[in-house]
Amino acid sequence: MFEYATTVRLFDTDAAGVLFFGNQFRLAHAAYEEFMEVNGICFDEILRDGRIMLPITKAEADYQKPLHVGDRLTIEVRAESITEHSYTLSFQLKKEDGSLAGHIRTVHVCVDARTWEKTPLSTALKDALQSIHS
């Protein structure tokens, strides 16, 4: 498991002062980017290289508790599955008291940037994902 700490900011919330539903995905994606960077997989290099893309092909979210401005969170990232061409990530958003505020799942597929055909995950990416495989 990889852990990412963050705080709900004012711009994350809606007019009611509660986390805007779409921003739960933004928080999870920030945790994903940090996980990748910590493991030496930088999106800027992937984009500059131009050989592969890692699009999200499915995303789902569950909301268990409201989150407000100033709430501190720990986002736990796990790899639920890893195949030759894809991986599924699970994100648990936990409040300071350890209670679950939300859960996200995303499915990513590695594709050739020119043809958009599936292509194998790199060894480095597989190794990083294996380190958080549940």
| pLDDT per position as a tens digit, 46-84 | 888 989 999 999 999 999 999 999 999 999 999 999 999
pLDDT at 134: 80
Report, as residue numbers or ranges, the catalytic residues.
14
- Residue 130's pLDDT is 97
State the residue for tokens 């648990």: 92
Distance CA 68, CA 2 (A): 23
Give the structural domain span for 78: 2-130
Q: Which residues contact 93 (CB under 8 A, 6 or more apart)?
A: 24, 27, 28, 67, 73, 74, 75, 100, 101, 102, 103, 104
The radius of gyration of the chain's CA atoms, rounded to the nearest angstrom, is 16
- Number of structural domains found in the chain: 1
CATH classification at residue 62 = 3.10.129.10
Element (H, E) at 2: strand 2-7
